[in-house]
A and B are shown apart, each in its own frame.
Chain A
Amino acid sequence: MRTYSIQFGRFVFFLAAWMLIGCNSTEKEVYYEWQFDKSISLDTLGPVGIAIVSNRIWLADVDHNRLVEIDTTGVIREVVENIGRPMHISSYKDQLLIPSYASDSLSVYANYQRTKEALPVKPDGFAGISKNKDYMAVADFYNHKVYLIKGQQVITLGGEGHTDSKMYYPTDVQIADDTLYVADTYNNRIQTFDLKGNFLSVLGQDQKIREATGLKVTEENIFVTDFSGKRVLVFDKKGVVKQVLTQSFDRPADIEILGDKLFVINYGGKSLSIYKKVAIEKKPTKH
């Protein structure tokens, strides 16, 4: 009996010691967040879209019907003129894809050459574009639709409305991870679809977004500009808000990421807000 008591006592002692050590674990947990770095004045521009091609930052200067390439200090390096109201430009490989809102046409800029590309659809207010290996997505502002295009095959999504899968003035699109993300601007939300056109989910509807104008999808996150709300929301892929960026925005319209830098274009403030990604160590957990 005494032997059992000793053994039981040892067991309780080791259990207590394990719990004490375990609960004061010094294992460091690391996560990332975005911190404001600086703002760059772009007072000679009226920028609404941003895209990065081969590490070069391109802006859609909608007020002046042109594209400009800037360096990270805001100095203009190249200008492409005579584009009728370019909106949410995007990149595919070494190409810059340019939707013209005035002429509802698509042009491609690469190797200092601009060429027109035929579309199998006729948008009215060609606001945004995204392309991957097989698919292209087109945001059609006035028809409240997004077209998912594969060769000559077109899947039409949306249509005017406010319920799931319907849209109200969409302005931006991105195809990522076999998913189509739509900035359903005046429904104040993001919608996702699979590449067969099936509705998947809604993000941000509970975040009181004023106008969800621009989006950027990375491996881990979905970034959304809230134009009049003057902020950027960072969601995880499940739609949970991980961070809300508010510093130095004046009607942010679009977002891009290059390395550990986040670039947000401000249409109202005529500026570029730059955030940097920083690692944050969580304090050891104590139970």
Chain B
Amino acid sequence: MKTIIKFLSVVILAITVSGFTEPPHQDALENRTYVKLEVDGLTCPFCIYGLEKRLKEIPKIADIYIDLDGGFATFNVPSDAQPTEDEVRKLVKKAGFTAKKIVFSKEPFKTVR
């Protein structure tokens, strides 16, 4: 009986430890796609946050940054959920703007916030 309890304890401990030690987000962090888009017509905060609102329709999107003066936006997504260029263009159009250049990268873009 004691042997069984010891065995079960070891199994439970092993499962628990493996659960905790596995980095849950490591995969996601390493496999992200960074997107930068140049947008025509960004003028006011209603524009910026309208674009933000539309971009949030992209599943699992993170770190949306929109530069009013620079006229561009950056964000990142898990690589396996990366939107197509056409999908991004449609969302920008839905926000009332025209996307010019769209760049997909494995490296984060440098932005001064």
Contact = CB atoms under 8 A, between A and B. Distances in A.
Sorted nearest first, the 5 A-B pairs with minimum C-beta distance are A85-B49, A48-B45, A101-B49, A62-B45, A227-B44
A142 B49 CA distance: 12
27 contacts: A46-B45, A48-B45, A63-B45, A85-B52, A85-B53, A87-B45, A87-B46, A101-B46, A101-B49, A101-B50, A125-B46, A125-B50, A141-B46, A142-B96, A169-B96, A171-B44, A171-B46, A185-B44, A211-B43, A213-B44, A213-B46, A227-B43, A227-B44, A251-B44, A253-B44, A253-B45, A267-B44
Q: Main SS of chain B's interface residues? A: helix
Interface in B34-66: 43-46, 49-50, 52-53
Interface size of B as a range: under 10
Contacts, number: 45
B56 to A, nearest CB: 8
Contacts of A107: none
Given A102-B49, A102-B52, A227-B43, 14 more contacts: A46-B45, A48-B45, A62-B45, A101-B46, A125-B46, A125-B53, A141-B46, A169-B46, A169-B96, A171-B44, A171-B46, A213-B44, A251-B44, A253-B45
A228 interface: yes
A253 B47 CA distance: 13
